[in-house]
Amino acid sequence: MTEYLLLFISAVFVNNILLAQFLGNCPFIGVSNKVSTALGMAMAVVFVITISSMFTWMSVKYLLIPLELEYLQTIAFILIIATLVQFVEIFIQKVSPTLFRTLGIYLPLITTNCAVLGVSIINIRNEYDFMHTLVHSFSAAVGFGLALVLFAGIRERHALCDIPKPLRGTSLALITAGLLALTFSAFKGLL
């Protein structure tokens, strides 16, 4: 149990997929203007990363390795992720049309979110078993969501401030992202 807890803390804070490994920056900048949108995207990403990592792990373990087709890993992962994202999109459209409209173009972009593919590849490279894959995937996705929601909260506060013209928009967003990454790097000494 301690091993899983350490893996969780490490993936959320220390090796944050977004702030330490720099995977998934497109939705980080694009969906972080409102906390509500960021929260919806975070939940979708948690679901997609966790489920896709499970399916990609099983595809490697029970299909690619036995058939000696490991070289097709990336293509197989992309197909699995794209299929799962389509199911998530259909599900969100049925369950919450408001969230579906709010996410707009960013929901299909989860397909090309390198964090989703990156977590699956990290799980295979680290040779995690199924439970470690599940815990790491969920934890990495929670870390992604935490960073996204924190960043959105900060950006909402920026809207209330008088910011000099050269720093408005993407400039301040990137500076803020750097400071947030620096803040998360303080956790490296804990584990």
Of residues 188 and 189, the one with the higher pLDDT is 188
Q: Supply the pLDDT for residue 104.
A: 66
How many CA atoms lie within 13 Å of 43's alpha carbon, on the beta-carbon side?
A: 13
Query: Is 133 among the domain residues?
Result: yes
Radius of gyration (C-alpha) of the chain in whole angstroms: 17
Query: Is 16 among the domain residues?
Result: no
Query: Is 19 among the domain residues?
Result: no
Q: pTM of the prediction?
A: 0.86
Range of the domain at 55: 24-186
Q: Tens digit of pLDDT for each residue in 38-82?
A: 888 888 888 889 999 999 999 999 999 999 999 999 999 999 999
Structurally, the chain folds into a number of domains equal to 1
Q: Tens digit of pLDDT for each residue in 161-171?
A: 888 888 887 78
Query: Is 2 among the domain residues?
Result: no
Q: Tens digit of pLDDT for each residue in 2-45?
A: 999 999 999 999 999 988 988 887 777 777 778 888 888 888 88
Query: Is 109 among the domain residues?
Result: yes
Over 90: is that where the pLDDT of 95 sits?
A: no
Query: Is 139 among the domain residues?
Result: yes
CB 7 within 8 A of CB 136: yes
Over 80: is that where the pLDDT of 83 sits?
A: yes
Banded model confidence at residue 106, pLDDT cuts 50, 70, 90: low
Query: Is 169 among the domain residues?
Result: yes
Query: Is 122 among the domain residues?
Result: yes
